[in-house]
């Protein structure tokens, strides 16, 4: 039992410490883009969408851009759509850039909500498992503790930058950094309190 605990403790410590280092690095240095992106045909549109903080304006710009594309496509045969897109690539690029930015922001907000929803559940599992463990319900309690820390590890794991929703991505990184620190602190608290009452410990060794 003790050997198993030590192995899991070391593995979890390595994971959480590594994640803290990675998140801290990205928070400090931000999202680093390639200089080659400025040569993409839709770079200006992506940059404009990225810098627009007011989502009401962003949505209105998308509505206008989408309507322009729909107006262009009215009465056009399916076989001619490809030629239409090439001839009006600027309008299509603008619509796609705005849509990508809006969808990415929505995705990041949902992820931020889910981080604390599921992490709260993980912290609850750690607490319940620790109480059971300390009361002598060894294996069920320890299994629940492992499940709780697994939940925390999953939601604190790195998120990769998709090139949009820069502000939301930074907020997400800060939250994951905080969560990783909380998970590591909980791990050390459980480790320091893991000793079983006398009599119970001898039965599990």
Residues 6+ apart with CB under 8 A from 98: 45, 49, 58, 61, 62, 65
According to the model, what pLDDT value does residue 164 have?
58
What pLDDT digit, counting tens, does each position of 112-143 carry? 999 999 999 999 999 999 999 988 898 999 99
According to the model, what pLDDT value does residue 33 have?
65
Q: Does pTM top 0.85 for this prediction?
A: no
According to the model, what pLDDT value does residue 202 have?
45
What pLDDT digit, counting tens, does each position of 32-58 carry? 666 666 767 677 777 777 777 788 888
pLDDT over 90 for what percent of the chain? 44
């Amino acid at each position: 039992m003790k050997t198993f605990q030590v192995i899991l403790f070391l593995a979890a410590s390595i994971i959480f410490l590594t994640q803290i280092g990675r998140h801290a690095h990205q928070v400090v240095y931000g999202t680093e883009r390639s200089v080659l992106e400025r040569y993409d045909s839709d770079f200006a549109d992506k940059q404009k969408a990225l810098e627009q903080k007011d989502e009401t304006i962003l949505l209105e710009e998308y509505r206008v851009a989408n309507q322009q594309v729909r107006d262009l496509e009215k009465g056009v045969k399916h076989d001619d759509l490809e030629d239409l897109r090439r001839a009006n690539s600027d309008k299509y690029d603008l619509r796609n850039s705005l849509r990508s930015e809006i969808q990415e922001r929505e995705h990041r907000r949902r992820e931020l909500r889910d981080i604390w929803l599921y992490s709260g559940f993980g912290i609850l599992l750690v607490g319940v498992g620790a109480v059971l463990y300390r009361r002598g319900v060894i294996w069920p309690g320890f299994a629940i503790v492992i499940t709780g820390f697994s939940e925390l590890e999953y939601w604190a794991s790195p998120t990769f930058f998709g090139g949009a929703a820069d502000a939301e991505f930074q907020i997400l990184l800060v939250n994951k950094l905080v969560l990783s620190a909380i998970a590591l602190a909980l791990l050390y608290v459980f480790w320091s309190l893991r000793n079983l009452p006398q009599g119970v410990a001898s039965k599990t060794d």
